[in-house]
Structure 1
Amino acid sequence: MSLYHETASILDGDAPTGGNLRSRVFNNKDIKSPRGQIYALAVETCKWSSVLAEVVDNSQLLQCERKLTPVLALLLVHDLLLAKGGIALPVSHGLRAAIERHRSRLTAEFTRARIRRKCSSVSALAEHVEALLHSTSKHPRWIRVNTLKSTLDDQLATTFDGYQRAASVQDVLAGPAKLIYVDEHIPNLVAVPPRFDFAKSGAYKSGAIILQDKASCFPAYLLDPQAADGDVIDGCAAPGNKTTHLASIVHSRNQAAEGALHAKIYAFEKDAKRAKTLEKMVTTAGSDGITQIHYGHDFLKVDPADEKFSRVGALLLDPSCSGSGIVGRDDMPDLHLPAAAGTKTQTKTQKSAKVSASKKRKREDDDDAEPEKILIDDDGNTTVASSEKDLKARLQALSDFQFTLMLHALKFSAARKATYSTCSIHAEENEHVVLRLLQSDIAQQRGWRILPRDAQVKGMRDWPVRGQVDFCDGDMQVAEACIRAHKDDGRGVMGFFVAAFVRDGQQDESLVPEIRQVQKVPNQPAYELDSTLTGSPPADQSSSLLSSDSKAGGAGPPELGAGSGDDSDWGGFDD
């Protein structure tokens, strides 16, 4: 099967995997053509489809070439008119011949389409197409200035020279001009209109700027590691956006702490391939001198009592989740189709194309069935939940894993701070995990509590969207301590959740759970945790979710100082 037939199958909705375009391509084991080529062809054809459908219709291509489908026609005409190498088939191939014999008419109609849009050149038409693509976008392009290599002022004077300052994110999205918004919550973060692509800019290639959603910047900024906190662990580090953000903050603290032992970051990534991506990003960002990557090392297998980590005072955990908050993660791009021979012109989105012809034939039998819910985690893995029960089971499994990972983080002997975050909208992965942690024996015996809102670093304290009280057993203070972000709410961010935990006191190794070395058994961990120090407290034991001072409206921990500051974004990952 050719590149064009396989791409058409993906866009027609016949792919065996569900989810968005990326997952349909890269999770499809039946594909023979290079996946990168298929994905690029599909993306570009969808982007240009409103123009190409007009060209195909006006040239009457489908009336002349009855064996072509509307989707195949779009793909082939795209490459004929816009690809540098033309149609990627032998000259004698039937599909190529069906298009090439209409080259003159197709080219003429393409020129007419350009003139109708008042574009003087193909490059001007490309800008017009990009502008239309992003004209209804609710999300700007967020860019973090990497202070390991540059400053905000330097980038405003160079990379963003000619951009006018906007007063709000809404202004950036509404205006056609080159506007830039300097964020009010996260230092060294700016937003520009989504149609401007910086992936080929010198600043991006050198690591001076990093493409990172605003909400993804919350964990490192909320953690706010100080020199006194010692070393830092990023337990789920790839692809590296949060790791490099941490590094920029740690670096600024190291510079300010004269004479003190400089802190380092231990970055763990159990997947070897993703660890290589992490290494590339850390190196490009210039944080390799601060960051020690543990390749293929599972954070859950790290001994919290290991002397190597005796100076770890802060931990950032952003574990695998449902990915339900990521912008565009569950979407397919719009595809404008030309009219099939003898039919009226069609315009449909890929959401309507998800059902294949065979599924349509069964629709009458399935009208009462529950709709499928497709979960695509932050690794791009697709899980289809065919019912609400299946969805709940999947979310509970994720929640249990997230709780286990975070509970492990709270055991490090010198730890004083920890953040927990997800790019999920589900309470099972967010507030429910926080409550379980606060009620755990580990948290209560070691004095861990949630960092209250009034003690959070200023930008996070001022962020208006907080946790949901109903998901916090009615505890308003816990809900206020949790930070949420909602996609499509006008703030231009993805769906996100983060909460910070803190504790007082000196190093207390006596309270670290006993780790008993046991004989290694295949597929079993090399140690066991004392079962009396895990899980929830006894039913008759009251739990204090906030410190007594916090519940009484006191100051709680001293306020943290302001820090300095996952797709083609760093290798195509959203973090």
Structure 2
Amino acid sequence: MSQIYKDGAKVLKLIKTKNIGLKGACFKLKRNVRPIYALINKILPVRKKLENEIQKKWKDCEDIELASLMLFDYWKSGKISGGGAVKHKIMEKFKPSKFLAKNLKKQKRWVIINQFKKPKNTKILGKQDEIIPDLYCIEDSAEIAKMIKNSEIISQEKASCMPVASLRLKKGNWNAIDACAAPGNKTLQLAGRMKKLSTGKIYAYELNPNRFGLLRRRIKEYRADNVKAINGDYLKAEIPKNVKVAIVDPSCSGSGIISHQLIDNGKITVQPDLVTERLKSLSYFQEKVLTKTLNIPGIQQVLYSTCSVHKIEDENVVHNVLSSFWRKFKLVKALPKWKRRGFGDYGELMVRVNPLEDKTQGFFVALIKRRSLRLGHHIIKRTHRYWSKKKHIKFN
């Protein structure tokens, strides 16, 4: 039996526990990370249906994850790699079928150019995204796979690129932080933007040792020499000097991630108003991370984002934290060209992505900037006395 099937089945079982995402589960493997990720990513939209087919004809199947992977390959290519009892059972019980042709749509993926190792030929990527620079929506091919393997392009969902694209960066000598960095997509994207604008560094924090190892490997692989990875608790960390920009993308429910929903439910749902004890606990942690970041001396802009569709992790976190910081900070409109906006009084300033309608993962983005020391055209410093007279909370 092919080792890819064995390891792929382990990954499917891992992500079914809800404790880890597809990428994180794949990077726990010591080999064949990319082919296994590609295989499971293809199988997820039809996983439930495949399992139903197996349960109909092979009721006493002991490893349904392994059987699903092998049956998928059999119906897709007409063959199963390697040998073994599971292969013989599938060949015996299942005939060649047009099941996948009926149930699988032709897949496209989003990729963004690696600014540290740019591809020589970008024409193959087609038309650049209208909102996010260097982002492309492409169909898989051997040449695309080679570019990804060579780290010339990074496979990254459009929604995941939105937070860093929202930042309004200026030239200068300044540092940045990524408070919860692994697996590192946003870190690498910001590193690419900073390369052209700042001589400073990104300090990327990750508490989990395994995820930190993944973060370090990716930084090295993509040659992002302006990133310093730190294995530690951001909430307890002493922040470096001259930090002007921060990304806060803390642990969340992952309810906007399509693969999570397909694993859990076999379908995609959007429930913005859902509140559970787990969501309350997550939102408490998210507020702590955002609060610590806004307390950094001299911080100029903070990007808060989640891959959640729930208000309790999104607009509510921003509202609760800014209620204590509104005199110093304000919301500014993130990605003005993006049509879908947030909920509530200041929802128009925030970004929402709907996984059912926007052809990418569910996401939330809010851009928070330090208020200017000027009031209108007058040179009036906003002193404590000035703000103490302000009674009405204002976020913009």
Q: TM-score range by the shorter chain?
A: 0.7 to 0.9
| Distance (whole Å) between structure 1 residues aligned to residue 54 and residue 279 of structure 2 | 46
Partner of 1:494 in structure 2?
A: 361
Partner of 1:311 in structure 2?
A: 242
Instruction: Please say if 1:240 is aligned against 2:184.
Output: yes
Contact 1:53 1:74 in 2 (8 A): no
Partner of 2:82 in structure 1?
A: 85
Instruction: Please say if 1:206 is aligned against 2:150.
Output: yes
How many Å apart are 1:392 and its aligned residue?
2.8
Partner of 1:463 in structure 2?
A: 338
| Distance (whole Å) between structure 1 residues aligned to residue 190 and residue 145 of structure 2 | 23
| Distance (whole Å) between structure 2 residues aligned to residue 52 and residue 427 of structure 1 | 33
How many Å apart are 1:542 and its aligned residue?
3.2
1:502/1:145 CA distance change after superposition, 3 Å? same
Higher Cα Rg: structure 1 or 2?
1
How many Å apart are 1:54 and its aligned residue?
9.9
| Distance (whole Å) between structure 1 residues aligned to residue 167 and residue 250 of structure 2 | 16
How many Å apart are 1:52 and its aligned residue?
12
Contact 2:80 2:87 in 1 (8 A): no
Partner of 2:116 in structure 1?
A: 148
1:19/1:542 CA distance change after superposition, 3 Å? same
Within 5 A, what are the aligned runs for 1:99-178?
Answer: 110=96, 129=100, 133-135=104-106, 140-150=108-118, 154-157=120-123, 159-160=124-125
**1:273-322 deviations in Å (ceiling 9; x for gaps):** 101111111112221x100111x211111234xxxx22111111100111
Instruction: Please say if 1:252 is aligned against 2:196.
Output: yes
Within 5 A, what are the aligned runs for 1:412-423?
Answer: 412-423=296-307
Quote the RMSD (CA, aligned, Å). Answer: 4.8
Which secondary structure state, in structure 2, belongs to the residue aligned with residue 227 of structure 1?
A: coil
**1:240-291 deviations in Å (ceiling 9; x for gaps):** 100000001000114xxxxxxx11111111111101111111112221x100
Which secondary structure state, in structure 1, belongs to the residue aligned with residue 336 of structure 2?
A: helix
- Which runs of 5 or more structure 1 residues have no equivalent in the other structure? 27-34, 90-94, 118-127, 161-179, 255-261, 334-349, 353-372, 376-387, 470-474, 507-536, 547-575
| Distance (whole Å) between structure 2 residues aligned to residue 406 and residue 464 of structure 1 | 25
Instruction: Please say if 1:543 is aligned against 2:355.
Output: no
1:542/1:83 CA distance change after superposition, 3 Å? same
Letter in 2 for 1:449: K
What TM-score comes out, normalization by structure 1 length?
0.53
| Distance (whole Å) between structure 1 residues aligned to residue 150 and residue 122 of structure 2 | 16
1:406/1:84 CA distance change after superposition, 3 Å? same
Instruction: Please say if 1:485 is aligned against 2:366.
Output: no
What TM-score comes out, normalization by structure 2 length?
0.74
Contact 1:77 1:99 in 2 (8 A): yes
- Residue identity over aligned pairs, in percent, reads 28
| Distance (whole Å) between structure 1 residues aligned to residue 286 and residue 16 of structure 2 | 26
Which secondary structure state, in structure 1, belongs to the residue aligned with residue 262 of structure 2?
A: coil
Contact 1:319 1:402 in 2 (8 A): yes
How many Å apart are 1:69 and its aligned residue?
9.3
Partner of 2:209 in structure 1?
A: 272
- The number of residue pairs the alignment matches comes to 363
How many Å apart are 1:41 and its aligned residue?
9.0
**1:162-195 deviations in Å (ceiling 9; x for gaps):** xxxxxxxxxxxxxxxxxx44210000101124xx
Within 5 A, what are the aligned runs for 1:62-101?
Answer: 82-87=79-84, 89=85
Partner of 1:433 in structure 2?
A: 317
| Distance (whole Å) between structure 1 residues aligned to residue 368 and residue 43 of structure 2 | 47
Partner of 2:229 in structure 1?
A: 293
Partner of 1:321 in structure 2?
A: 252
Contact 1:79 1:86 in 2 (8 A): no
Letter in 2 for 1:394: R
**1:476-514 deviations in Å (ceiling 9; x for gaps):** xx222111111121x3121111111111468xxxxxxxx
1:37/1:213 CA distance change after superposition, 3 Å? closer
Within 5 A, what are the aligned runs for 1:251-400?
Answer: 251-254=195-198, 262-287=199-224, 289-294=225-230, 296-304=231-239, 309-332=240-263, 351=266, 391-400=275-284
